[in-house]
């Protein structure tokens, strides 16, 4: 019996016994989302790269495959995962990277996991194995079902295999550091984003603006002369450390909020301490305000707030859905997991 068939048998048994299952990978992102109570279902044994066509820029792998194995194979051919998947605990699996939908500092320029997801093989809550998207099956209704799984955190089904678009690794990368305050940094990032600057990272932290440029050596030299600043050492790990939340900013006690908003938005009243990423489009925030106040303030400006890492006194991880989106979510859940056995409550209290 294959690992996939063994997982299928576990799901069928859980469905018959109405027993919820907690999907388990490497555990590097267990903190993200609401706590799940259920029988552990280990997915790490379902691993390995199935196919990799460097000339076609497509990789297919089982979802328990460690990210380090995927990236080692890609590095050998001068390619990479453009959404810059975070590890947090130094590990992580390919399935976890897709299921959480998270991207690192390079995500605004390299795309989100759903943007590079070509297809998936899925085990749903009824024990059915299905294929969607990419080279495997065209959905006649016109919906790309596989992309629904990016960010669903296993609540709609167990990702078995995924096919991803990969991209060539930039020829050269250089990070420039400029001393400036937050307001000046937001203005500078906005100006640079209006120009053909080969940006692949833009972050303001501790009164310094970090700009990552990726491209040819000629291009990087030309833009360095125009932008100014001091270059970091070539092998400096700033962006990897930022991706995995290793700087001291992230080690503080309290609730860590992730705010998504327009890059030019001035400081908000709910911000106590902030780190700005994605050229201003994402803010990591520690706040003394209540969750309701934070979400109200973000809602008033068309932004979005979520609890990324829970502190004390904050229970609701994700913002409540509108009635229309909640109805859609429930229909999808009914279709893929009618008995609600997969990662019950991970996204919302149901």
Q: Where residue 314 falls among pLDDT bands split at 50, 70, 90?
A: low
Mean pLDDT on 243-253: 94
Question: How open is the CA angle 345-349-350, to the nearest 5 degrees?
Answer: 85
pLDDT tens track for 233-242: 878 899 999 9
Q: Is the pLDDT of residue 94 over 50?
A: yes
Q: Strand pairing partners for 274?
A: 285
Question: Comparing 108-122, 134-148, 191-205, 238-252, which segment has the lowest mean pLDDT?
Answer: 134-148
pLDDT at 141: 43
| Average pLDDT value for the chain | 91
Q: How much is the average pLDDT of 34-43?
A: 92
153 has pLDDT over 50? yes
| Residue ranges with strand state E in 195-301 | 199-205, 208-215, 230-231, 256-260, 273-277, 282-286
Q: How confident is the model at residue 275 (pLDDT cuts 50, 70, 90)?
A: very high
Set out the domains of the chain in order of their start, with CATH numbers. Answer: 3-168+327-336 (3.30.465.10), 172-243 (3.30.70), 254-309 (3.30.70)
Q: pLDDT tens for residues 44-81?
A: 999 999 999 999 999 999 999 999 999 999 999 999 99
**295 Cβ neighbours under 8 A, 6+ residues apart:** 305, 319
pLDDT at res. 139? 43
DSSP string, 1-62: --HHHHHHHHHHHHHHHT--EEEESSSTTTTSSS---SEEEE-TTS--EEEEEGGGTEEEEE
Collapsed DSSP state (helix, strand, coil) of residue 159 = strand
Nearest-angstrom CA–CA distance, 145 and 148? 5
Q: Tell me: the pLDDT tens digits for 102-134?
A: 999 999 999 999 999 999 999 999 999 999 876
Most confident of 80-89, 175-184, 227-236: 175-184
Task: Give the confidence band of 313 by pLDDT, cuts at 50, 70, 90.
Answer: low
- What are φ and ψ of residue 204, in 5° steps? -115, 125
Specify the pLDDT at position 310: 77
Q: Which residue has the higher pLDDT, 284 or 142?
A: 284
Residues 13-28 have a mean pLDDT of 94
| 137 compared with 263, residue with greater pLDDT | 263
pTM: 0.91
Residue 142 above 50 pLDDT?
no
């Amino acid at each position: 019996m294959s690992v996939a068939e063994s997982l299928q048998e576990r799901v069928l048994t859980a469905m018959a016994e109405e027993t919820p299952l907690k999907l388990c990978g490497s555990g590097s992102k267990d903190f993200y989302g609401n706590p799940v109570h259920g029988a552990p279902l280990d997915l790490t044994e379902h691993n390995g790269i199935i196919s990799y066509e460097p000339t076609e820029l497509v990789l297919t792998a089982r979802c328990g495959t460690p990210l380090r194995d995927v990236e080692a194979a890609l590095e050998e051919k001068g390619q990479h995962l453009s959404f810059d998947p975070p590890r947090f605990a130094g590990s992580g699996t390919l399935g976890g990277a897709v299921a959480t939908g998270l991207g690192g500092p390079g995500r605004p320029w390299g795309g989100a996991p759903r943007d590079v997801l070509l297809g998936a093989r899925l085990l749903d809550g009824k024990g059915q194995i299905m294929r969607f998207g990419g080279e495997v099956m065209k959905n006649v209704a016109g919906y790309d079902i596989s992309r629904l799984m990016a960010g669903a955190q296993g609540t709609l089904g167990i990702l078995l295999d995924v096919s991803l678009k990969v991209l060539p690794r930039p020829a050269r990368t250089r990070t420039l550091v400029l001393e400036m305050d937050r307001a000046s940094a937001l203005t500078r990032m906005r100006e640079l984003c209006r120009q053909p600057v080969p940006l692949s990272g833009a972050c303001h932290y501790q009164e310094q603006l970090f700009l990552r440029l990726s491209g040819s050596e000629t291009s990087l030299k030309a833009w360095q002369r125009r932008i100014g600043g001091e270059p970091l050492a070539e092998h400096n790990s700033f962006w990897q450390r930022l991706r995995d939340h290793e700087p001291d900013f992230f080690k503080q006690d309290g609730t860590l909020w992730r705010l998504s908003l327009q890059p030019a938005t001035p400081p908000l009243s709910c911000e106590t301490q902030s780190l700005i990423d994605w050229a201003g489009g994402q803010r990591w925030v520690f706040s003394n305000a209540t969750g309701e106040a934070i979400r109200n303030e973000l809602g008033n400006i068309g932004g979005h707030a979520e609890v990324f890492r829970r502190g004390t006194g904050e229970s609701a991880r994700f913002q409540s859905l509108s009635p229309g989106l909640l109805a859609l979510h429930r229909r999808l859940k009914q279709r893929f997991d009618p008995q609600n056995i997969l990662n019950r409550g991970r996204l919302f209290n149901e």
